[in-house]
Chains A and B, each alone.
Chain A
Amino acid sequence: MTALMHSLPPGTVILVGALLAPLVPQRVRQGWLLALPVASFLLFIGLPAGHSVSFHFLGYDLNPVHVDRLSRVWGIIFHIAALLAAVYALHVRDTVQQVTASLYVAAALGAVFAGDLITFFVYWELTAVTSVFLIWASRNRRAYRAGMRYLIVQVGSGVLLLSGTLLHYHTTGSLAFGHLGLGSAAGVLIFLAFGIKCAFPFLHNWLQDAYPEATVTGTVYLSTFTTKLAVYALARAYAGTEILIPIGAAMTAFPIFYAVIENDLRRVLSYSLNNQLGFMVVGIGIGTQLSLNGTAAHAFAHILYKSLLFMSMGAVLHRTGTIKGSELGGLYRSMPLTAVFCMVGAASISAFPLFSGFVSKGMITSAADHGHYAVTMLVLLFASAGVFHHSGIKIPYFAFFSHDSGKRCKEAPLHMLIAMGVTAFLCIAIGVYPKPLYDLLPYPVEFHPYTVPHVVSMLQLLLFAALCFGLLNLVRLYPPELRSVNLDSDWIYRRVLPVFVQSVGRTVTAGRARLTVRAERALGRFLGGVYRHHGPEGIFARTWETGATVLWVALLLAACLIYYYI
């Protein structure tokens, strides 16, 4: 029995359990949904690194379960995040969300342990089609349209992945999901597929477009799985691909400008999510043991603090009905615990000493330092100061302090507080005692985060950034929160393309009308001619005498003969 369970991909328990969930009565369904990630984790944790299951199917060698030290890190954190999100979502009674959230978790887990590209593709697409329901579950027009755009982009990424996979199989004869590199067309296609889900610059906007439209609990799920699965895939297939360094550096820098002026606080978090992915991508690009460890550690820490931040903003949205910075402020009175948890998340994402981001991001910057990537280093430092600015200060400040909005509401529900409390505890625990996390990493760790230069330099960077925020706010130079929408690359497909298509459509319609008129006239003339010759009065409608007919036939035959003779 155990052997059978071990031969199934991790996450299968959640997959089956989610499909059965609608049959479980609502009273006990909450317990059922909590039990799924726990059961799955207990089964998964028994699998040793190196565990692999493969079989031959329709002429292909498939390897649906492949556990190694890299995939184990993601397996563990995905299980933890799934359980925390399930606790946070205990109040949800919507069967669609309950089922699709668990299916989404199962798909992400399946993908992490896929040893071949076909299996990986199947789970990759499954994450897309299950997660979109968490956006649609908001059940409004905006969410429906954002979900549609999200689905198109995600499925598009899947199409690229499948074409790359088939091309790769055709040229190499292998389906194994290992290092690919950019040396072949297949490698480039798959790189683009991963790049879309990892929100590379210009391929990123589906994230900021869709995540803030999802439900309160849906965004917590979304923030964890899709993008970090893409980071995992890049780490597996493109470690050491140098182009990832400038791509990652750009990802850390450009979203923070948007984050500063964005009003929807969950969208601010989506921009900072994008910025944090940049650090991980840089780590993959550098490709040393230290930097890859850094990427894995940062993904682990990031999933926790990002969930925590989205949970706290979700709680604010849940209680006040809005998440716009321009309408919030002074909420610390009503939601003091949520405010504290939010600040723990903020300190963690900002990489304050004693919080999780410090011990994980430090590995990546240290790897950039060792590799003498001067420009990258400067960009990463700028982005670190910037992320503190908008996620570390702006989010808690505008939601919980700033000017009092007059809103008075209840503190977040107990289950949300428990989920946030445990997540906050983990963020601090990792920051204070990083050894258990370091022991999980793919390579042996010889990194000491708590050195005097590292602590002092990071504190200088962050506190001077805070000083800047304070001063600019004091002299009223800080851009106020305004009800607005900011154009990003989604403008191209939400505005330019539709306008273009509509103008082409109008031209075609107008042209078709003119063409139709002309065609009708021409047809009229033609039919008139036919009528003249073949109509009742027409020359071809007369009855001819037999003799005349014979004469005509004879003349025609003669003409034929002469023609052939010539």
Chain B
Amino acid sequence: MKQDGWWNRLDSPRAGRTAMRILVVICAGLLAADFFYPKHAAFSWEGWFGFYGIYGFLGCVFLVLSAKEMRRIVKRDEDYYDRPDA
């Protein structure tokens, strides 16, 4: 395999940006898909436009940012439990 072939650039920032562009297009398509099928919702919010997409996105923002904050409290050095004073 060539050193500079596409295969070797899969973890480059450029490949990441391309993947993001494709993802944005797919996500837009999925939002649009919401117009084209009837929803049988057990809960009212299930029928809202793009509910799952928005919930998934916001849920993950919340997850990551709060996990990051949680690090302040729970993060310790790698040898925390191995120290003799434990």
Chain A interfacial positions (CB closer than 8 Å to B): 142, 256-258, 260-261, 329-330, 332-333, 369-370, 372, 374, 377-378, 381-382, 385-386, 389, 401-404, 452-453, 456-474, 477-479, 482-488, 494-495, 498-499
Contacts and interface: CB of A to CB of B under 8 A. Distances in A.
Contact of B71 (A472, A477, A479): A479
B37 A401 contact: no
A477 B65 contact: yes
A463 B23 contact: yes
A257 B70 contact: yes
Contact of A479 (B8, B42, B67, B80): B67
Contact of B11 (A329, A369, A461): A329
A382 B37 CA distance: 23
A369 B74 contact: no
Contacts of A460: 27, 30-31, 34, 50, 52-53, 56
Interface string B51-79: 11111110111011111101101111110
Contacts of B78: 483-485
A485 B77 contact: yes
DSSP class of A's interface residues: helix, strand, loop or mixed?
A: helix
Contact of A465 (B50, B56, B68): B56
Contact of B60 (A386, A488, A495): A386
3 interchain residue pairs of minimum CB distance: A468-B60, A460-B53, A260-B67
B14 interface: no
A467 B57 contact: yes
5 contacts: A332-B11, A369-B46, A461-B53, A477-B64, A499-B86
A385 to B, nearest CB: 4
Given A261-B68, A459-B30, A467-B24, 4 more contacts: A332-B10, A457-B46, A460-B52, A479-B64
Contacts of A258: 67, 74
A374 B45 CA distance: 10
Nearest to A384: B56
A351 to B, nearest CB: 12
Nearest to B34: A456
A256 to B, nearest CB: 6
Given A257-B66, A257-B67, A260-B64, A470 B20 contact: yes
Nearest to B38: A453
B76 A478 contact: no
Given A457-B52, A485-B76, A389 B60 contact: yes
Contacts of B40: 453
Contacts of A457: 46, 51-52
Contacts of B63: 256-257, 260, 382, 385-386, 389
Give the interface size class of chain B: 35 or more
A369 B42 contact: yes
Nearest to A381: B55
Contacts of A484: 71, 75-78
Contacts of B56: 381, 385, 460-465, 468
Contact of A468 (B16, B33, B39, B64): B64
A333 to B, nearest CB: 7
A316 B64 CA distance: 26
A402 B33 CA distance: 31
B68 to A, nearest CB: 5
B23 A467 contact: yes
A407 to B, nearest CB: 12
A324 to B, nearest CB: 9
A372 B41 CA distance: 11
Contact of B43 (A261, A374, A468, A494): A374
B30 A456 contact: yes
B81 to A, nearest CB: 5
Contacts of A402: 11
Nearest to B36: A452
Contacts of A260: 63-64, 67-68
A381 B11 contact: no
Given A460-B56, A463-B23, A463-B26, A472 B76 contact: no
B4 interface: no
Contacts of A499: 86
B36 to A, nearest CB: 8
User: Which residue, of B7, B50, B66, B75, has the highest number of chain A Cβ atoms within 10 A?
Assistant: B75
Contacts of A142: 82
A401 B10 contact: yes
A117 to B, nearest CB: 36
Nearest to A461: B56
A495 B37 CA distance: 55
A323 to B, nearest CB: 13
B50 to A, nearest CB: 7
A281 B37 CA distance: 32
Contacts of A404: 11
A261 B30 contact: no
Of the candidates B60, B77, B80, the one having the most CB atoms from chain A within 10 angstroms of its own CB is B60
B30 A463 contact: yes
Nearest to B62: A382
Nearest to A488: B74
A381 B10 contact: no
